[in-house]
A and B are shown apart, each in its own frame.
Chain A
Amino acid sequence: MDRPAGITDNRYRFDAFSDGKRLPCRGKSRLPVMGWNSWNAYGSGNTEELTKAMAEKLVELGLDKLGYRYVVLDDGCYKPERVDGKLVSEEVKFPSGFRHMSDFIHAKGLLFGMYNDIGSKLCSGASVGTHGYEKADAALYKEWDIDFIKVDNCYYMWDNATFSDPENAKYVFTPNIRSAVIRGENLKEEITVSSDEGELTGTRASRKDGYITYLGSYDGTSPERTPIGLQSSEWVICVDVPSDGNYRIAVLYASGKEEGIGQWLQIRSEEDTTGVLTYDDFLPETSTPTDFVWSKDIPIRLHAGKNTIRLMNHRRQENTLTSYATILEALREVMPKKDIVFSICEWGKTMPSDWGYKVGDSWRILNDITFDVGSAEGDPGTGKWEDPYTNSITSQYNKCVIMDEFAGPDKGWNDPDMMMIGMNGLTDTMNRTHMSMWCMMNVPLMLGLDLRKVEKDDAIYSIIANKDLISIDQDPLGIQAKRIWTTYDCSDPSKEYIRDNHRADVLAKPLSGGRLAIAVYNLSDEIIEEDIHIDLDLIAEKLGSAFPEELKGAKAVRERNVWTGEESEVSGNLLGDLLVLDPHGNMTLIIEKAG
């Protein structure tokens, strides 16, 4: 039976997520990548001819010189079935094959990116996912001389989230648990721990009708839940035994295959010092999620005195990390010196901000920013400013803006998806704010439009080629902006997950050279005329040690408006006396000490 990989190495375990250590396969540190990806422009209708045209246009417009160097083929480029176990280019769309495409792009001085998936299929449904073919595919990617790979998460075998079999909840939650019992030769009588005892960590699990349910992690694909703080749950129990030795543990449980109730249990004793746990497997299936039965006795090592035993299921995160690492390890094996960007596209499902830095350069934080992508026939697709789901600029921004703690040069980058600039449904004002938001949040800048429609110095060009904004995104300090203030009533603007767009936000981002970037966003559809007071003291308080030394105690600063180029010397309120911002508008400033 195909099943999740056995994990014996602690580095792939939940407990190592916070240790700050990358896996050996992880590539070098880099700033967020910039380039063009085919998906938003053409969906799965991208072709060799169109890709060549985009590469030529990147160079013609000089966008490559500004940093847009990666040209990435997204889903839809492969034949829908493997041929002799190998990936093959879709013959109608890419008749000359991928090596030809790669050579063409490299000859332009650009870099070549491709796409695959940790599951059995790609999101398009093509049965060419990397699972089980990691080494064979890595050899082909070497042959195709890739510089970048985006790895998706559709049809992942061991999760019940988007696209998989709903029954796969059995992998990602523990069964419902009514009690646990410890037995041993040294115990006069067995120790029983009922569900109302012990501690429930995280936010997911709860006690219900005498049992514990929802032990596991949540699906972060949709925008409802905050990415901040410990979200997954464990049942942590404490038992006191008289001597070191081998004991046995059993649980009274009932399994299921639905959100919150699964079949996979992990038990970790304090004596489990390697990645091998006391138990890490399915329990036998029960007839219903409330039909409780005793598990068999499971050997457990305990020490004299009080022992903490954790009952949990972190496999949703651990399996996903392991699958991504398996692909990257295969790529490193065949291309040990090649500088490959590894772009994790698992839509925030398993909180990749916790573990993504171990393998990836960036990690998507939500499902797609648009589902209404363009086509090869000329439709540019449609983007939205706001939407209850993930498919809008503000849906992605609202989550990403509080995730600065996860980003940095020694970690990697949050990825709120490719940009939608150039799509229908977005005004120039929205596009400008979109660009400013992505640059302030220090995220990858991937264009997703048909570049043949762009001319030098037109409205779109002036946005995507804004050098000040690109310099903010590509600043060598690599610090994601922090939201330091909002008109929304909340106690901590930097951490509170706010989805109500009737507000304005102020972000501050330390830059190299003792400078700062400040941005104000009007997320609402009404004009803002307000006296918003933001001074250096407030910014220093909010940024703490990240606040530039050079600006400490500065009486006056020089401000540069990145949209107008206007410069002025300011003291006191950096935003002026009365801030007027159009609906969906922004003001973005670069600040340095005057004189």
Chain B
Amino acid sequence: MTVGEFLLCLKEAAGGEPESWKTKPEAAENRTAKAACTDWTAGEDFGAEGEVLLRKNCARILHRYLQKVMGVKDLTTGLPSYEEVRDIYDCRICAPHVSQILARGIMETEVRGSLQLFEGNREVSREDALEYIHRMLQVQQEGR
């Protein structure tokens, strides 16, 4: 799955297509992820739309969506530490996003021997991506 496809999945799962696509068919012809999400992706560095979606970028997108679109406040306790998730700071720009997404149970760590790792450089499958979106939407529904 690419970054662009993920952004579109997120848009569709969360709120349907933008109103402009329904009223202006020509707009729909140029439907790109960024066109669908100009409101909250502006100025964000999620990577090029054609780029493969990695777990670290998936966490960044989900967390910014939680903050900016769903208005969910960040958790201040229960965040994973370096001792718990050894690679949590490997991607320093992603670290706060990964922390929030792990703490909310939207994404999960993997066990490698005695270590728990986030594995931010691994690709996200379509199935996993949809599951993460589903879990994120539950955060609001359940008022977490």
Contacts and interface: CB of A to CB of B under 8 A. Distances in A.
Contacts, number: 63
| Chain A: interface size category | 20 to 34
Nearest to B79: A372
Contact of B46 (A43, A125, A368, A389): A125
B93 A123 contact: yes
Contacts of A126: 45
Interface in B34-89: 42-48, 57, 81-83, 89
Contacts of B89: 162, 222, 367-368, 371, 389-391
29 contacts: A44-B45, A47-B43, A75-B45, A76-B43, A76-B45, A80-B47, A80-B48, A81-B48, A92-B43, A93-B43, A123-B91, A125-B45, A125-B47, A125-B57, A125-B93, A127-B47, A127-B48, A163-B90, A222-B82, A367-B89, A368-B89, A368-B92, A371-B89, A371-B96, A372-B96, A387-B81, A388-B82, A389-B82, A389-B89
A63 B42 CA distance: 33
B82 A387 contact: yes
Interface of A: 43-45, 47, 75-76, 80-81, 90, 92-93, 122-127, 162-163, 165-166, 222, 367-368, 371-373, 387-391
A275 B44 CA distance: 44
Contacts of A166: 121
A126 B43 CA distance: 12
A224 to B, nearest CB: 11
Interface of B: 42-48, 57, 81-83, 89-93, 95-96, 121
A162 B90 contact: yes
A114 B44 CA distance: 19
A92 B90 CA distance: 28
A532 B95 CA distance: 41
A251 to B, nearest CB: 30
Given A372-B96, A388-B81, A163 B45 contact: no
B80 to A, nearest CB: 12
Which label, helix, strand, loop or mixed, suits the secondary structure of the A interface? loop
Contact of B45 (A124, A222, A368, A387): A124
A92 B96 CA distance: 23
Given A80-B45, A125-B57, A387-B82, 5 more contacts: A44-B93, A80-B47, A372-B96, A388-B83, A389-B82
A197 B41 CA distance: 60
Contact of A371 (B42, B43, B92): B92
B19 to A, nearest CB: 22
Contacts of A222: 82, 89
A371 B63 CA distance: 15
